[in-house]
Structure 1
Amino acid sequence: MRLRVSLAALLALTGAAHADRVANPIAVFNGLDKITGVTTTFEIAVGDQKKFGGLIVKPDVCYTRPVTEQPKTTSFVEVDELETDSSRKRIFSGWMFAESPGLNAVQHPIYDVWLTGCRDPNAPPPVVETTPDTGTGTDQPDDQPDD
């Protein structure tokens, strides 16, 4: 019984150790126009909408994980197709996953749209740790003139 309690406590602690998701104000998408073969990268503020070809793309949320966690970027997106009479027809409503773009991308006869990331322009840049150069001497300039 004591072992079960310890395992349960350990599982609870490791589950709590994972950081919460980070909400970002901007979703980043790629769109492909299959007629011209041109791929376009575009950003949309969460809650706003943007026209891509004959589609209207609207991200409702865009989540990432902290840089210390394994990447997982998700966005809940609504996509409407503009009809010839200027009305809209909903063709997609659901989650998109940047790490698996083929899983829930919008596949339209003319346009494809998929999530590539989320960003926060006000977030501080991630700290990248580097190893200092040990100065082995192989890259040092030679003070002696060449013969």
Structure 2
Amino acid sequence: MIRTLSFLALMTATPALAEEVSTGAGAMLRGLDKVNGETTDIKLENGGSASYGPLSVELTECRFPQGNPAGDAYAFLTIREQDNDGVLFQGWMIASAPALNALDHSRYDVWVLRCITSEGD
């Protein structure tokens, strides 16, 4: 009974929590080389790709809450190792919670900082 009531409360609250999103022109990512501690910022347009060490990073799309381009950006990324056909990571990364869905690589980390808006980011 309690589970049913909790589920009903969640279902009725969901539309109120929904937030409209906008699509950015691209994303600003950050890469970390864990061996030497160096960070590198990577600017990508939607549909673009870049190399970071032996990694190939592809951005499909970056989205952010409408009216708040600095808030909770999330981007759909595909990350591969260049000498390997396998995908190391594919999915949505959230800027405010990078560990929630993260790249698992022994040497490199990549995460989303923010979306690039048409305002000349």
Match of 1:96 in 2: 93
Q: Output the TM-score relative to the length of structure 1.
A: 0.65
After TM superposition, which residue ranges in structure 1, 4 or more long, deviate above 2 angstroms?
14-20, 66-72, 122-125
Q: Is contact 1:23-1:62 (8 Å) kept?
A: yes
CA distance in 2, matches of 1:118, 1:70: 8
**Of 91, 96, 118, the match for 2:115:** 118
Greater RCO (CA < 8 Å, at least 6 residues apart): 2
Q: 1:104 to 1:38 in 2, by over 3 A?
A: same
More strand by share: 2
Count of matched residue pairs: 110
Residue aligned with 1:27, SS: strand
**TM value normalised by structure 2:** 0.77
Provide, for residues 21-62 of structure 1, a one-character-per-residue CA deviation record: whole Å limited to 9, x for no partner.
100111111100112110111111110110001100011110
Aligned residues: CA RMSD? 2.8
Aligned twin of 1:39: 39
For 1:76-87, what aligned pairs fall within 5 Å after superposition? Answer: 76-83=76-83, 87=84
Matched residue, 1:55: 55
- Gap runs ≥5 in structure 1: 1-10, 126-147
Task: Report the 3-state secondary structure (helix = DSSP H, G, I; strand = E; otherwise coil) of the residue aligned with 1:88.
Answer: coil
- Determine the C-alpha separation between the residues in 1 that align with 2:69 and 2:82: 39
Instruction: Please state whether the residue corresponding to 2:86 is helix, strand or coil.
Output: strand
Q: % of aligned pairs identical?
A: 30
Contact 1:105 / 1:115 at 8 angstroms: preserved in 2? Answer: no
